[in-house]
Amino acid sequence: MGNPERMTIHRQGNAVRSPADIATAPFWVEMLLEGAADGENTAMRASLDPGTITRWHTHPRGQLLYVLSGKGLAQREDGAVEELRAGDAVWFAAGEKHWHGATPDSAFSYISVQATEAGRIVDWLEQVEVLS
């Protein structure tokens, strides 16, 4: 499919449930832009229930995450767990192992943008150990 060849308005709606095994619970994902060729961007809006966090993962060309609402958490490998609030923007570098998700007491929504490489935008890894 790939990025549209002309101006395209995506109206709100059409969210789908994420695959069950990429996070501690399914979450809502609304595709905003779908890249296909190398370097084309894919963008989505994600909405997570309180306490839902992703598995560890990497993005082949990195990821920009922009927080829309709620409170979130993010961590890169060997880094501290960081709290995210509405308006924060986070860059995860290409191949940087990380996870992100909602705090236990708050829903969390964000927009993420990640470029495609060899048809992939993400590589999923192991589950995050229970946060203490």
Residues that bind Mn ion (CB under 5 A): 63
Q: Which is nearer to Mn ion, 107 or 122 (CB)?
A: 122
Query: What are φ and ψ of residue 22, in 5° steps?
Result: -95, -10
Residue 68's nearest CA partner among 52, 43, 88, 51 is 88
Residue 25's alpha-carbon distances to 17, 51, 56, 118, in angstroms, are 10, 9, 14, 28
Q: Which is nearer to Mn ion, 47 or 63 (CB)?
A: 63
Q: Which is nearer to Mn ion, 4 or 79 (CB)?
A: 79
The residue whose Cβ lies closest to Mn ion is 63
What DSSP character marks residue 21? G
Q: Which is nearer to Mn ion, 61 or 71 (CB)?
A: 61
CA distance 96 to 94: 6
